[in-house]
Amino acid sequence: MRRLRRPQSLAELALPQRPGALPAHVRILGLDPGSQRTGYAIVETQATRVAYIASGAIRTRGESLAERLQEIFAGVEALASEFRPDEVAIERVFMSRNADSALKLGQARGAALSATFANRPRVFEYAPREVKLAVVGTGGAQKEQVQLMVKRLLNIAGPLAEDAADALAIAMCHAHSRRLQGLVSLAVGVVR
């Protein structure tokens, strides 16, 4: 397996990537952050396939938001340490009608993301509509449709929790996006 060169600093994580710089075989951590439950998924890309490794949810029990954020950080840090993802795909924060909920979601997202930084993975963000479009074929898909398609695409038998399904959908969206980027880079290289 060809290993992705890890960035040497946090500043390098923000630098634009060269076209075609994404290898075909990587481990992806998909995150669907929430202050009560943070969904996670681990998949690997293998050429044109996406292979399921693990998924689940980190359920917080803390009384205060600070305690729940610590639990999210510790849970994601343990996942990153165990699975050592090359790339992290996370849902982009969207503005809802309730500003307090959006702020809590943003804090949960920050706790989850910062827990992965010791491994220095590349980080990619996707809007909820992008994720649904990539997995179901329509940006307005319902949660049940996302769950069903994730199970079918990854050949998962048995029940799949909503948070885990969302995290798997985010990871799959990223896997499809990076494959498309590779095809575009290849086509551009052929044209030149």
Question: Is 91 part of the annotated catalytic residue set?
Answer: yes
d(CA 21, CA 24): 10
User: Angle, to 10 degrees, between the axis of helix 65-83 and the axis of helix 99-114?
Assistant: 30
Question: Is 130 part of the annotated catalytic residue set?
Answer: no
Question: Is 163 part of the annotated catalytic residue set?
Answer: yes
List the catalytic residue out of 44, 87, 91, 166.
91
**Is the distance from CB of 154 to CB of 168 less than 8 angstroms?**
yes
List the catalytic residue out of 32, 44, 77, 166.
32
Cα angle at 125 between 141 and 86, to 5 degrees?
Answer: 115
**Is the distance from CB of 128 to CB of 91 less than 8 angstroms?**
yes
Side-chain half-sphere CA neighbours of 92 within 13 A: 13
Burial of 119 (0-12, 13-18, 19+ CB in 10 A): middle
Residue 124 neighbours by CB under 8 Å, 6+ apart: 87, 88, 89, 90, 174, 177
> Of 115, 121, 117, whose CA–CA distance to 77 is shortest?
115
List the catalytic residue out of 44, 77, 163, 166.
163
Looking at the annotation, which residues are catalytic? 32, 91, 163
